[in-house]
Structure 1
Amino acid sequence: MSKLKGVGVALITPFNEDLSVDFNSLSRLIEFNIDNGINFLVVLGTTAEAATLTAAEKQEVVDHVVKVNNGRLPLVLGIGGNNTLEVKQQIETTDLSAFDAVLSVSPYYNKPNQEGLYQHYKALAATGRKIIIYNVPSRTGQNLEAATTLRLASEFPNLCIIKEAAPNILQYFDIIRKKPEGFSLLSGDDEFTLPVTLAGGDGVISVIGQAYPKEFSSMVQLAMQGKVKEAYEIHNKLVEITRLIFVEGNPCGIKAVLAEMGIVKNYLRLPLIPASAGLHDKIKAEMKNI
């Protein structure tokens, strides 16, 4: 999975005023990221508001991204849920010929224990597809502990990457320190990207990176080259906007940034709503400092 290193971006789904999918803006966003150094694209993740897209819309988004990308960057497709058998079946029946891996979030709401999480990913591994484990306790309500991740990584080679978004950065370091050869950790937290990469991580699946692809990619490449001071200069430049975009949840903040850049329109589907006027003003002001 050497293709999936550096900076991948979790693409938003742009909408028109009538809340139909804005494919023209999606094309602009893809081209902007390809032209500015992003390493791979993630389609239909949480940031894409995938939970509010119909099955037909999801397929249209997938087809559009594949067409616009035209083989230029590796692609990752989000397929996850809290019904293990359904997720497994979806992975088995989806045409993944254009994709290098599946990103699959750990089950949410059910709150399985560690053995349940292990059994869930064991079942997905049986599909034989390359799968990125996605641990994001703030959304799922349950942390996939480092010991469980390492158990999965050692037993199932096609569970080849984890997108780690635990709130405790020590968990990232434990996985990096103990992981088997060939298993990669990507940060799932934009602000942790630099220290995690310097510690031996392989980059990030980023939200803010799709608005500042050149800067974020440069930061990660500098980190991989051991140029710590130069990397932290970029990190410090982006840290405030990175924090601001998550103040009222994702993706309302990143959509505000991209709308200010003229790349997309600032619309979200309920139950999500656009950033408040106060937050939008703060975002707009901080953008002038970058």
Structure 2
Amino acid sequence: MPAETVIFTHGDCDGICSGALALAAHEGAPVFFSNPVSILDDLDEAKDADRIVVCDIAINLPRARDIKNKVTKLSKKAEVIYIDHHPKPPRFNVSWLVHDTNSCAAQLTYERFRKSLDPDMSRVAIYGAIGDYKDQTPLAMELLKTWDSRSLYYEAGTIAQGIAIGRKDYDHKRDIVQLLSKNVLPSQIPSLAKNAIKASLMEEELRLRIEKSVVRLNSVSYVIDMDGFISKAAIYAHIYGGTCVGVAAEYLKSKDVYDVSIRAKGDCNLNVLVDMAARRCGGTGGGHPMAAGGRIPAACIMDFINDLDAMLGSRKK
């Protein structure tokens, strides 16, 4: 028999928490991890489902029309609930999208399924908010009033650090989603707690390497192939480079491309600028105004970085 509900979610802290909340509201539903590039193909796994829930998967400009057409077609046969907080493409008005850029996906998922959830699952929404730097939103601050915030920051940090190791180990992440959907504390998931300690030590070593290796341009500081957590590398690049934006690039030999992570401090509107710079290089990119990512052909990585720097102009940290 076809699955009644199928869940797709992102593999970061916010996505994992969103998936756990969706699963808590739809016990037994299969959970798939996806991303903005692969979601079009991944949705084929749900062609026979009665309900499709998508959490925290950005709708990037290059694929916006195809996603709109495919999901709208699916929505004629099944209920589709697409929950996201990334900036949406212009004129992207559809009935199946639950959207708010001033929240995180976990908060939006909690609100959407709140009537089907144990109130104590609110802390899973807060884990996602903390992991996505959205813990100062009105909903997050309201939910935090019912918990000891110090404990929740510890638990959220355990998730964020713990999943940094084996980030493509989706079976492990699926186990985490299952346990979080039962409201198990992250610190009580042995593999997650162990990995969090290991990741913290690795991050400290990465930080020290970046301090010595970062290259500064005008508004962008960058590091390449630092052998560490790429998003953390981008953060430390802008910190130690003293610029408003940090870029970290990691070479993927099998595809001859660089995965890039970009982080900003200040109003940079990265989602638009990264998309523009990536497309000029034949790559893809996007995300949030303050945090973005992409995939760039290897031969064009410096063109991408220099183009992004030029578009940003001379900005102070």
TM-score range, shorter chain: 0.3 to 0.5
| TM-score when normalising by structure 2 | 0.32
| TM-score when normalising by structure 1 | 0.34
Task: Select the structure that is richer in strand.
Answer: 2
**Greater RCO (CA < 8 Å, at least 6 residues apart):** 1
